[in-house]
Amino acid sequence: MAIQFIQVPIVLSYLDKEAYGVYLTITSIVMWAHNFDFGLGGGLRYKLTEALALNDQQKCKQLVSTAYFSLTAIMAIAAVILTPVIYLIDWNSLLTCYSISNSYLQLCIIAVLITFLIQFVLDLITIVLQAKQKTAISSMFRPIANTIAVGGVICLKQFSHNSLFDACMVLTIPLVLVLLATNIWLFATEFKSIAPTITQYRKQMLKDIYSLGTKFFLSSLSSLIVFQSANILLSNIIDPTEVAIYQTTYTYFATTIVFYGVIIAPFLPAITNAFVNHESQWICNCMSKLTKFTILFSLAAIILAAVSKFAFHIWIGDRLVIPSLLVYFLCFYAICNIWSTTYNSFLIGVGKLQVTMYLSIVKIVLYLPVAIIMIKTLGVIGLVLSLLIVNTFPNIIFSYIQYRKIISGRASGIWDK
């Protein structure tokens, strides 16, 4: 998180506000490529944790092999489909950015897209690590990559200025290299017994992974539409500078969300393990502890809001003007997000995602029209309100109800699927 905070002013000193907003929007657009894994990563995590709990090493190897080769094929197809589509779009009009040529924007988007597609395949190693309950190791990759990226931007400043393509490459390639090195190292050493091989690919395993993975996919799809479209909507309806303002403020409050995520991440495979072994009392104790952390992190978000004016002055100086109202709304959003994460994580851990799947479909239908209307009416504040109304409030309400039903043994019908 510290590295991300350092990265923002350094990148802003290399790119101007408009180019930085365009970069954030480009990365949001290519993140949509993640949809093409159809929930494979989420399905793999649950099934692999279950196989490990049952000590079925053969099934573990087959699951890993099937996931890697399936996702590689999916991402290759995605590249073939999306590359020509990118060349058909008028990016100047879509991003309301006319200071950068359309052909140059296309080049930047293609380059970032390819790195992201490769990253999604290599990122399966984090799923394997989480299933093995080695979450601490899986959490190291992005800080290492971000450190390299920050160093790369500092070096870039010595040779060029405001080059969007150079910035895109320096900020995205390090994570691919770190993940590639990790995959090679772990599958050659500690995880050699479950290393992916083409001979262990099992087509029938896709059903095991995708039966649950489809629910993860719809949840992932709704999240991508809700979160990754934010930058596109702001850039198109207002301008790219507004993207930089929103993302910078969001990054500030995301500290609470990210740190809470660090705490809750190890509990996911542990809850799965406990649920498979019918250890309901351990799960209750675990959720009680997590509730105390949600209160603590909610207070932390309020403190961040109270000192935000001073913090932004130290952090980014006068490069961006952050509205106070946006600070308050994003503080409230961060608190709600933390509470919903607790119960959503429980549902992911026990694999009961039917209600979440139906809720995701509703979000997919409602979010964009609601967000467009509210942004046109209230600007960036409207965006945050649409996030709360369509996404966060329903998450809190339905996930809490389902949690209470499951933990008390009263869940039935869709609440138990």
Q: What is the pLDDT of residues 188-225, one digit of tens each?
A: 998 888 899 998 888 888 776 766 556 666 666 676 67
Tell me: pLDDT of 374 over 50.
yes
Asked whether 363 and 391 are in contact (CB, 8 A), the reply is: yes
Query: At 8, which amino acid appears?
Result: V
pLDDT for residue 178: 93
* Residues 94-147 pLDDT 10s: 777 788 888 888 988 898 889 888 988 898 998 898 888 787 787 788 889 888
Cα maximum dimension of the chain: 64
For residues 267-274, give the mean pLDDT: 80
Q: What percent of the chain has pLDDT over 70?
A: 92
pLDDT for residue 186: 93
For residues 230-245, give the mean pLDDT: 80
pLDDT for residue 393: 92
Please give the mean pLDDT across all residues of the chain.
Answer: 84
DSSP element (H, E) containing 413:
none
For residues 266-288, give the mean pLDDT: 83
Whole-number Å distance between alpha carbons of 34 and 389: 25
Tell me: pLDDT of 336 over 90.
yes
Q: Identify the DSSP state of 392.
A: I
Tell me: pLDDT of 171 over 70.
yes
Q: Which two tokens stand for residue 47?
A: 């099934």
Q: Identify the DSSP state of 388.
A: I
pLDDT for residue 122: 92
For residues 223-248, give the mean pLDDT: 78
Least confident of 137-141, 213-217, 271-275, 368-372: 213-217
Least confident of 246-255, 270-279, 306-315: 270-279
* Residues 55-98 pLDDT 10s: 888 888 998 998 899 888 888 998 899 889 888 888 888 777 78
Asked whether 105 and 95 are in contact (CB, 8 A), the reply is: yes
Asked whether 212 and 47 are in contact (CB, 8 A), the reply is: yes
Q: Which two tokens stand for residue 123?
A: 């990122």
Distance, CA of 327 to chain centre: 22
First to last CA, the chain: 36
Q: What percent of the chain has pLDDT over 90?
A: 18
Q: Identify the DSSP state of 387.
A: I
For residues 328-356, give the mean pLDDT: 88
Closest CA to 35 of 351, 252, 360: 360
For residues 233-250, give the mean pLDDT: 82
pLDDT for residue 35: 47
Distance, CA of 64 to chain centre: 21
Query: How many degrees, rounded to 5, is the angle at CA 108 between CA 105 and CA 112?
Result: 140
Task: Specify the residue for token string 């502890």.
Answer: 289
Tell me: pLDDT of 54 over 60.
yes
DSSP states along 310-358: HHHHHHHTTSSPPPHHHHHHHHHHHHHHHHHHHHHHHHHHHT--HHHHH
Q: What is the pTM of this model?
A: 0.65
Whole-number Å distance between alpha carbons of 309 and 312: 5
Q: What share of the chain is helix, strand, coil (3-state, %, to 5)?
A: 85, 0, 15
Least confident of 28-42, 273-287, 382-396: 28-42
For residues 261-269, give the mean pLDDT: 80
Whole-number Å distance between alpha carbons of 116 and 26: 11
